[in-house]
């Protein structure tokens, strides 16, 4: 596994030790760095019997189906992150009070050769009148609405999403 640096940022020694996939220590100068689990959100948007999936335009997993969402910014609530990400990705403005927390699942996210461990917080957002006509073409190839019967878990980009969606598919 690769971390963001191979040499101690403090003393430039290469004697870095990694514990528990997250703590990096330098045995030469006692520098410590925590590559902590990052918080992320994913929103399951439902309109009548259809759920919205985005199609990733970027790696990791370009071309695969995704749920709208992303990393939580510093000092932001998870609900704020849902609203911001949906605005950025799909140009919609949601009512945060209608977000319903579903569950959390850990995930890994390999970006530019650095592995991030995330905790993905899943939310449900139901709006039977929601119309989506726009998307961020840098991040996304497009989007697709699918009924629960049409969802193929193997088309999804991330393990955490497969787990949370299978929960919904079981309970329908």
Q: Does 4 help bind Zn ion (rule: CB under 5 A)?
A: no
Beta carbon nearer to Zn ion, 26 or 90: 26
Q: Does 26 help bind Zn ion (rule: CB under 5 A)?
A: yes
Q: Does 41 help bind Zn ion (rule: CB under 5 A)?
A: no
How far, in Å, CA of 72 to CA of 166, rounded?
24
Residues near Zn ion (CB under 5 A), total: 8
Beta carbon nearer to Zn ion, 8 or 156: 8
Scanning 5-13, 66-74, 77-85, 149-157 for contacts with Zn ion by CB under 5 A, the matching segment is 5-13
What is the CB neighbour count within 10 angstroms for residue 11? 12
How far, in Å, CA of 30 to CA of 9, rounded?
11
The residue from 10, 59, 91, 103 that contacts Zn ion (CB under 5 A) is 10
Relative to beta strand 38-47, strand 114-126 is: parallel
How far, in Å, CA of 148 to CA of 170, rounded?
10
Tokens linked to 46: 């439902």
Q: Does 82 help bind Zn ion (rule: CB under 5 A)?
A: no
Beta carbon nearer to Zn ion, 13 or 103: 13
Beta carbon nearer to Zn ion, 10 or 36: 10
Q: Which residues between 125 and 154 bind Zn ion (CB under 5 A)?
A: none
Q: Which residues pair with 115 in a beta bridge?
A: 110
Q: Does 18 help bind Zn ion (rule: CB under 5 A)?
A: no
**For residues 151 and 161, is the Cβ–Cβ distance under 8 A?**
no
Residue 74's contacts (CB-CB under 8 Å, 6 or more residues apart) are none
Tokens linked to 2: 């690769």
The residue from 3, 25, 31, 144 that contacts Zn ion (CB under 5 A) is 31
- Which residues make up the interface to Zn ion (CB under 5 A)? 8, 10-11, 13, 26, 28-29, 31
């Amino acid at each position: 596994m690769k971390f963001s640096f191979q040499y101690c940022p403090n003393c430039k020694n290469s004697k870095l030790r990694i514990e528990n996939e997250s703590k990096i220590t330098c045995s030469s100068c006692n520098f410590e760095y925590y590559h902590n689990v990052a918080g992320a959100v994913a929103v399951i948007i439902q309109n009548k019997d259809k759920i919205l999936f985005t199609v990733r335009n970027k790696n990791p997993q370009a071309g695969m189906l995704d749920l709208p969402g992303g990393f939580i910014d510093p000092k932001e609530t998870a609900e704020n992150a849902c609203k911001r990400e949906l605005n950025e990705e799909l140009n919609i403005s949601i009512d945060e009070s209608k977000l319903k927390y579903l569950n959390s699942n850990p995930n890994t996210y390999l970006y530019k050769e650095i592995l991030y461990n995330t905790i993905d917080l899943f939310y449900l957002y139901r709006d039977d009148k929601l119309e989506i006509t726009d998307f961020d073409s840098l991040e996304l190839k497009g989007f697709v609405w699918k009924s629960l019967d049409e969802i193929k878990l193997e088309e999804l980009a991330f393990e955490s999403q497969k787990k949370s969606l299978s929960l919904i598919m079981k309970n329908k």
